[in-house]
């Protein structure tokens, strides 16, 4: 029996040819040079998934401002996606603008590790963050019974970009950290001289814990 694998942090996003609600796409080439978030949901026409699609769409412009593209996925046929998206627009007055992959054979989900043992053939609520170099930078998994926190997904997208652009780390609950508020953490010292000079350049609790404003 072939062992099931899942993508890991630092892996390159695999090349996939997919059918979506906006036509056929080649991933990750369709988002070349951009950040993108691929997220899976268990099934169309289900209550929790409907609230999640609305939540993503409500934040769609904020993701676009960060240059982050969105693409959904579930093991449903494309006509089911289309009808569900139409239902959301007609009944909730929300137009879903991001594409949704129709993975009706489950091959994409299997390759990405989105199938949870013991939960049938439905996908878990997975979220994969991919950077402009096609590297997987963060992965979230939620069980089918728990809807995601979309403000956290937006926070993560912003924080990853700030970390990359400034060579810093982000504290817990950034930008509302209990110790340093919206400041960021300086990377580790590379030598003794650097460690000794830190307190002169930054605010520090100690040489190994220095922080600054962006």
CATH number at residue 86: 3.40.30.10
CA distances (Å), origin 82, targets 96, 119, 209: 10, 25, 51
Average model confidence (pLDDT) across the chain: 93
Residues 86 and 118 in one domain: yes
Residues 31 and 83 in one domain: yes
Q: Give me the sheet containing 68-74, strands edge to edge.
A: 23-27, 16-20, 100-102, 68-74, 35-40, 125-130, 136-142
Residues 78 and 31 reside in one and the same domain: yes
Cα 38 from Cα 137, distance rounded (Å)? 12
Q: Does any domain span residue 158?
A: no
pLDDT tens track for 125-179: 999 999 999 999 999 999 888 999 999 999 999 999 999 999 999 999 999 999 9
Q: Which of 16, 18, 27, 49 is catalytic?
A: 49
Print the domain residue range for 204. Answer: 168-212
Q: What value, to the nearest 5°, has the Cα angle with vertex 81 and ends 135 and 58? A: 65
- pLDDT score of 127: 97
In a shared domain, residues 39 and 111: yes
Residue 49 in domain? yes
Would residue 163 count as lying in a domain? Answer: no
| 103-121 burial: b if 16+ Cβ within 10 Å, else e | bbeeebbbbbbbbbeeeee
Do 27 and 126 lie in one domain? The reply is yes
| Residues 121, 54 share a domain | yes
Same-domain status, 144 and 173: no
C-alpha R_g of the chain: 20
In a domain, 62, yes or no: yes
Residue 36, in any domain of the structure: yes
Residues 125 and 69 in one domain: yes
Residue 190 forms part of a structural domain: yes
Of the candidate ranges 4-18, 26-40, 162-176, the one whose mean pLDDT is the lowest = 4-18
Respond yes or no: is residue 49 known to be catalytic: yes
Are 74 and 100 within 8 A, CB to CB? yes
Check whether residue 97 and residue 127 sit in a common domain. Answer: yes
Residue 160 lies in a domain: no
Band of pLDDT at residue 2, cut at 50, 70 and 90: very low
CATH number at residue 199: 3.30.1020.10
* Residues 139 and 45 grouped into a single domain: yes
> Residue 3 falls within a domain, yes or no?
no
Q: How far is CA 191 from CA 161, 174, 197, 203, in A?
A: 27, 28, 10, 19
Same domain, 37 and 116: yes
Number of domains in the chain: 2
Are 89 and 172 contained in the same domain? no
pLDDT at 105: 84
Q: Residue 196's pLDDT is what?
A: 87
Cβ-contact 173, 152 below 8 angstroms: no
């Amino acid at each position: 029996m072939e062992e099931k694998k899942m993508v890991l942090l630092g892996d390159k996003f695999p090349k996939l040819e997919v059918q979506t609600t906006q036509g056929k796409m080649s991933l990750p080439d369709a988002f070349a040079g951009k950040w993108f978030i691929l997220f899976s949901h268990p099934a169309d026409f289900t209550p929790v998934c409907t609230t999640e699609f609305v939540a993503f769409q409500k934040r769609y412009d904020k993701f676009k401002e960060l240059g982050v593209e969105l693409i959904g996925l579930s093991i449903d046929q494309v006509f089911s996606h289309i009808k569900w998206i139409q239902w959301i627009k007609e009944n909730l007055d929300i137009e879903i603008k991001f594409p949704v992959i129709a993975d009706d054979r489950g091959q994409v989900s299997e390759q990405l590790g989105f199938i949870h043992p013991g939960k049938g053939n439905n996908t878990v609520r997975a979220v994969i963050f991919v950077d402009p170099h096609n590297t997987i930078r963060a992965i979230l998994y939620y069980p089918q019974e728990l809807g995601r926190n979309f403000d956290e997904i937006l926070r993560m997208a912003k924080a990853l970009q700030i970390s990359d652009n400034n060579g810093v780390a982000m504290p817990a609950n950034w930008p509302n950290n209990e110790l340093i508020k919206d400041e960021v953490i300086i990377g580790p010292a590379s030598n003794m001289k650097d460690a000794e000079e830190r307190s002169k350049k930054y605010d520090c609790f100690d040489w190994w814990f220095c922080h600054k404003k962006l």
